[in-house]
Amino acid sequence: MTSFSRRALIAAAAASSLSSTLVWPRFGSAAAEPIDLEVETRVLDIAGRAYDADRIVQSSGADGLSFDLSDSFDIRLHNKLDEPTLLHWHGLTPPWRQDGVPDLSQKALPPGQTYDYAFPLTSAGTHWMHSHQGLQEQALLAAPLIVRDPAEADLDEQEVVIMLQDVTFKPAEQWLEDLRGGHGAMMQGTDMDSMDMPPDSDTAMMSMSEGQDMMMEMDGQHDGSDSTSFP
């Protein structure tokens, strides 16, 4: 197993074109006031190029969230974007109204407004939170969400959480469009006759149109005994 020192890991993250988020342990008791958590935009310098990204940050400037299992999840979410957003607390089990999925658990949070969240934490773990609105997560709107097990407090270990996020200058919408359109375009543009198939192959490739049925013989007995129809 390859191991890295903490210093080497941090140096590697800083030197790479990846966006990194470090979360430092927060020791202490439960907060009496809700933690103000802000969703905002920022400009990153990626190898000398400006990159517009979103981020989740505490009003104190701390990245991400960290709790002890005995804490309750008391958060006031502020939307400082100029578009709606909503965060999903990935790995936590809140009441469903606080699960952060737009139009399922609640409406997306409009710009300039706040939502309050309050529920007990039930499981320790290395979780994360991310926008569930549009493609905001792909614009780096995600951050670590750590819940510590008090039973591990006495371990002689230093905890460092590093979250790596990939950066591309092609807009996420364009990636999605290419992924959706590119596959179909490739298949339509493929010359089937030029594909290298063994002459005795039982494999067939066919074009399907919407509304057509496809019959699949599962056992090689071409009797329709086990065919499946896909509308």
Of the pair 97, 183, the CB lying nearest Cu ion is at 97
Looking at 51-59, 75-83, 90-98, 115-123, which segment touches Cu ion (CB under 5 A)? Answer: 90-98
Told to check if 127 binds Cu ion by CB under 5 A, we report no
8 A C-beta contact, residue 116 and residue 102: no
Q: How far is the CB of 76 from Cu ion (least distance, A)?
A: 21
Of the pair 51, 90, the CB lying nearest Cu ion is at 90
DSSP assignments along the chain, one per residue: -----HHHHHHHHHHSSSEEEEE----SS--SSPEEEEEEEEEEEETTEEEEEEEEEETTS-BSEEEETTSEEEEEEEE-SSS-B-EEEET----GGGS--BTTTBPPBPTT-EEEEEEE----EEEEEEE-STTTGGGT-EEEEEEE-GGGTTSS----EEEEE---SS-HHHHHHHHHHHHHHHHHT--GGGS---TT---------TT--EEE-SSS-TTSTT-EEE-
Q: How far is the CB of 100 from Cu ion (least distance, A)?
A: 8
Of the pair 76, 90, the CB lying nearest Cu ion is at 90
Of the pair 71, 137, the CB lying nearest Cu ion is at 137
Q: What is the C-alpha separation between 13 and 20, in angstroms, rounded?
A: 6
Among 40, 84, 90, 98, binds Cu ion (CB under 5 A): 90
Q: How far is the CB of 87 from Cu ion (least distance, A)?
A: 9
Residue where the block lists tokens 């590093």: 162
130-189 positions binding Cu ion, by CB under 5 A: none
Of the pair 30, 104, the CB lying nearest Cu ion is at 104
Of the pair 88, 148, the CB lying nearest Cu ion is at 88
Q: How far is the CB of 226 from Cu ion (least distance, A)?
A: 39
Told to check if 98 binds Cu ion by CB under 5 A, we report no
Looking at 49-57, 74-82, 86-94, 148-156, which segment touches Cu ion (CB under 5 A)? Answer: 86-94
Residue at shortest CB range from Cu ion: 90
Q: How far is the CB of 91 from Cu ion (least distance, A)?
A: 8
* Dihedral of alpha carbons 26, 59, 139, 90, sign: positive
14-33 positions binding Cu ion, by CB under 5 A: none
Told to check if 88 binds Cu ion by CB under 5 A, we report yes
Q: What is the C-alpha separation between 69 and 121, in angstroms, rounded?
A: 6
Q: Residues in the site for Cu ion, rule: CB under 5 A?
A: 88, 90
